Amino acid sequence: MRLVLTGGGTGGHVYPALAIAEAFAAEPAFAPLRVDFIGTRDGLEARIVPAANVPLHAVHAAPLARKISFSLLRTLAINLRGIVDALRVLHRLEPDVVIATGGYVSLPVLVAMRLVRALGRSRARIVVLEPNAAAGLTNRLVAPLVDEVWYAIAPSARALRARETVVGIPVRSSMRRAMSDAEARAILGLPTAATIVVAIGGSQGARSINEAVAGYIEAGVAPGVHMLVIAGARDFASLAGRLASHADATVLSYLDDPRIAYAAADLVVARAGASTLGELAATATPALLVPYPYATADHQAHNARAYAAGGAARVVADRDLDAVRLRAELAAALDPTALAAMRAVARDASAVDPRVTIIARVKAWSVSKPEPT
């Protein structure tokens, strides 16, 4: 099988694609398998995809301006060039399946793939995975061009249509690796008997979360609680110095394997990006979600509300987060009854592996092929 993945710009688009690639590679029915990724030269994918040993093919792409202007004409011209780039790449790769995971680079790639199909040069299946609860502009534009739309979270405003299905957010197999809290805490040097709250904001950190957590620690954490703050590269030095005298806090810059932090945690305080929610679901970890307020179309707020609706998380708006509010939220979430209820819901959610759903869906295509269009 020849699989082409496309997407980029943020980890929420790139990491699910790499999780899909990993799942395909582990499936004997797809052997021999070739996986390629089409992205941009300056997006996050330019660093992450080659590091995962997946060939990256760069095309021109630009986010579309949302109003009629010179900028719109400019971005249309760039994406037209990207369509030509993608036609060349797709001609070489001859994919059997094309899966887009979002981000503006998906537009020229999927338009090109549809043109190849229209010319009768391919019968490849075309799919878009929407990792967020609110679809982005690019995915809304390309939805009519694809054979199937896969949702990480079911749309709340309407019922699923015939070619739509919910698959969840695929994550790397390492996130599902069994690890006890005792093992994880030993690796991180955390107290075994404490209630561990992990605050994490990604590789660069989340300034508002870091500030609220620091204020909470300085005012005195609740008895029996130990805070693990994964501060991110930007805030690590200042936060580590600020909290150096507090024995009930551990500050790290970054973890290459976040599975260890999830395994150690009784509760995680985090943003509500698609990758984070996938990791929380895979590891059955209760959470306090603080959506990033400047995400496009406020999609993290939509993500957080949809995820928390099941009962595995609580949500607080970024503008409302400070040390006082954090103390109240942690007290409510760490109540033994409330925490047990959140963990039970999270455990039920983790029983369904989105990668298994995706593989089953692709295997089902063997009995039918799309007509060239």
Q: 20 in a domain, yes or no? A: yes
Per-residue model confidence as pLDDT tens digits over 219-255: 999 999 999 999 998 899 999 999 999 999 999 999 9
Residues 266, 307, single domain; the answer is: yes
Give pTM, 2 decimals.
0.88
Counting the structural domains of the chain, the total is 2
Same domain membership, residue 258 and residue 144: no
Same domain, 358 and 337: no
Residue 29's domain comprises: 2-168+353-367
The answer to whether residue 372 sits within a structural domain is: no
Domain of residue 329, CATH code: 3.40.50.2000
Please report, for residues 153, 250, 360, the alpha-carbon distance to residue 9 in angstroms, rounded to integers and kept in the order given.
Answer: 20, 31, 28
Residue 36 lies in a domain: yes
**Do residue 251 and residue 331 come from a single domain?**
yes
Same domain, 7 and 74: yes
Q: What is the mean pLDDT of residues 284-289?
A: 97
pLDDT for the residue numbered 21: 97
Q: Are residues 311 and 203 in the same domain?
A: yes
Is 373 within a domain?
no
Higher pLDDT, 244 or 156: 244
- 312 and 190, same domain (yes or no): yes
Domain annotation covers residue 31: yes
277 assigned to some structural domain: yes
Output the pLDDT for position 157.
67
For residue 129, tell me if it sits in a domain. Answer: yes
* Mean pLDDT of the region 14-22: 95
Whether residue 216 sits in one domain with residue 185: yes
The answer on 158 and 182 residing in a single domain is no
Tens digit of each residue's pLDDT (9 = 90 or more) over 309-324: 989 999 999 999 999 9
Residue 153: predicted pLDDT: 83
Shared domain for 206 and 97, answered yes or no, is: no
Looking at the fold, whether 116 and 164 belong to one and the same domain comes out as yes
Asked whether residue 186 falls in the same domain as residue 288, the answer is yes
pLDDT digits over 175-227, tens only?
Answer: 998 899 999 999 999 999 999 999 998 655 689 999 999 999 999 999 999 99
Asked if residue 297 is part of any domain, the answer here is yes
- Say yes or no to pLDDT of 369 above 80: no
**Mean per-residue pLDDT for 258-265?**
96
